[in-house]
Amino acid sequence: MSTENAKVAVVSGAARGIGAAIALRLAADGLAVGVLDLDEGACAGTVDAITAAGGSAIAVGADVSDEASVDAAVTRIAEELGGPTVVINNAGITRDNLLFKMPVSEWDAVMNVHLRGAFLLTKAAQKYMVEQKWGRVVNMSSVSALGNRGQVNYSAAKAGLQGFTKTLAFELGKFGVTANAIGPGFIVTDMTKATAERVGVPFDDFVKGAAAQTPVGRVGYPEDIAHTVSFLVSEGAGFVSGQVIYVAGGPRD
């Protein structure tokens, strides 16, 4: 097959931060990108940046936790850009709290976006991968999957995505589809800024503290994650599947 005709990606949570960086990088790599987020209008900046650089992208609004919304979004991407054979499950939220104080609504909200969202988006897109006999799924996990105080919901969801990834690799491998997960370490985003505010630490101090604990001596940026996604989506990564790659400036167990 000619994979030139297959290179359409959908990136969830792509209005800003890591998702936006991934969308920009994939567009620079020559893929058409469905820039998906809860608020379609919020995707305009990412889409404009891609098109200004000569790339192809559309903004798509969808609630990744809602099956009908996801199915409609994927159908629209297929109609306007082509069947998506690259899925980046990046959409995520935090609702941090200690276990004894966490309401069920905070547990459900995080599970619905991270796990249910990744399931629904991948399920909707996999038929295009199977038809093309080629595909790439990259799921955004986190070092928090290894455990992090105050994030029992987020940690469980990110660990769940690792199991989801490995099972996808088994089920879809015979169709030329790989599935991998990335576990970012400390990345400078609005989410980490919000965490700093929650714990009452100035963000500059928060960053310096994180850098001091990182073997490479710095924190990460969205582009660090985008580079890794670019590799995993490439033709050259076709023998890499079912892996969890921690992009964290040092080893993780």
Cβ proximity of 245 and 185 under 8 Å: no
Cβ proximity of 71 and 77 under 8 Å: no
CA 49 to chain centre: 19
Q: Is 154 labeled as catalytic in the residue annotation? A: yes
Nearest to 97 by CA among 142, 143, 156, 139: 156
Distance CA 177, CA 234 (A): 12
Nearest to 18 by CA among 179, 151, 140, 194: 140
C-beta atoms surrounding 102 within 10 Å: 17
Nearest to 87 by CA among 115, 125, 36: 125
| SS3 at position 151 | strand
Nearest to 169 by CA among 128, 198, 126: 126
Q: Which helix (H) or strand (E) holds 150?
A: none
Positions annotated as catalytic residues are 154
